Every structure is written in C-alpha cells, then in structure tokens.
Amino acid sequence: MTRDAEITEQTRWMLAVRDQRDRAAFARLFDHFAPRLKGVAIRSGMAPAQAEDVVQEVMLTVWRKAQLFDPERAQVSAWIYQISRNRQIDVIRKERRPVPEELKQPDAPQEDAAQMVALDQEVQKLRAALSSLKPAQRDIVEKAYLGELSHSEIHAQTGLPLGTIKSRIRLGMEKLRQDLKARGLS
C-alpha cells in the first residue's frame, strides 16, 4: 500500500467508503467530485440536465463498486474520472444508435399550396350544400356525420323516433349528393 504521506484526503474518503461503507466519507467524495464531473461532462458537449444524470450514475457506481478501488493501481480521482468517461461514452453511443424502422416517426406529408386551396374550395362547397338542406335534415345529418353520433344517440338527444331520424339522414344525404354533383364534387 502507498505510504500515508502520499495518500490524499480524497483517497482517505474513498478507503473509508470501501472498507467501512462510511456514508459521511461518501458525502464528502460526492461534494468534491460531483461539480467537477458535471463541468467535464458539460464541456464535452452534454446538456446540463444530462450531465447531472451522468454524475448521479457515476457516483452511484462509485458507491456500489467501492470494493474495486485499489490505491496502488490508481488515484481515486483517476478511478472516478474513468468511470465517468465510460458512462459518457455509453450515453453518446445510445443517442447515436439508429432507431429501428418501425419506431421512426413518419415524415409529415408536405401539402403544397394548390392542394390546400383545392381542399378549402371543397370545404366551402360542402358547407354551401349543407346550408341548402332543410334545418331539420341538416341538424340530423350533422349530428350523424360530423358529430359521429349513432341513431340511438341522436334519438336520446332529440327525442325523435328512430324511423324519422333514418328518413331525414337518407333524404338529406341524397340531397347532398345531388347538390355536390351539381357543384362538381362527386
């Protein structure tokens, strides 16, 4: 083992953690190394929140694997910084890992101005056709198709007999088809 004169304060803390599971010594190690590790991680390009996560994981590893620390092989700072470096590499590799095809978000379809104008014109024609219906027919058709209500749900809302609801929908849709055909939207 190294001579006592060569052992740093941080090494003494680490040996106390390794040999006696000393929580106070670990707290001193954490307070000493955590800000330094975070600074190194941020300077290497990590976001502050991600760097904090890495530091937490590194210090947890230090606690869990304290029995592996050997002051004859490395200084405690070198040992901890190596754990941190390895963890940062793991995080970077995970971020750069390609996403399987089935998990990738599909590209948003690019609508051009002509498609948007055409769609807007169709919507205007549909509104005009709907407004040409009798109010009672329009109300039932809108509830069924725009409100996505079933016949029985419309019955519950309006109190109209199911036969009347079905007739108004059938007649309203027939009128809409004729009107839309005349407007060039078949």
User: Would the pTM count as exceeding 0.75?
Assistant: no
Instruction: Kindly indicate whether the domain formed by 128-182 is annotated with CATH number 1.10.10.10.
Output: yes
Predicted local confidence at residue 163, as pLDDT:
93
**Residue 99: which pLDDT band, with cuts at 50, 70 and 90?**
low
For residue range 100-113, list pLDDT tens digits in order: 555 555 555 555 77
Q: Picking from 42-46, 106-110, 116-120, which range would have the lowest pLDDT averaged per residue? A: 106-110
Predicted local confidence at residue 75, as pLDDT:
92
Q: Which three-class secondary structure state does DSSP give residue 47?
A: coil
Percent of the chain exceeding pLDDT 90 equals: 47
Q: What is the Cα–Cα distance from 44 to 127, expressed in whole angstroms? A: 58
Question: How far is residue 46 from each of residues 51, 73, 78, 79, 81, measured CA to CA in Å?
Answer: 6, 29, 21, 21, 16
Predicted local confidence at residue 124, as pLDDT:
84
Predicted local confidence at residue 181, as pLDDT:
85
Share the mean pLDDT of the chain.
85
| CATH pick for 4-101 out of 1.10.150.120, 1.10.1740.10, 3.40.50.620, 3.30.540.10 | 1.10.1740.10
Domain ranges of the chain: 4-101, 128-182
**Residue 2: which pLDDT band, with cuts at 50, 70 and 90?**
very low
Instruction: Kindly report the number of other CB atoms within 10 A of residue 19's CB atom.
Output: 12
Q: Which helix (H) or strand (E) holds 69?
A: none
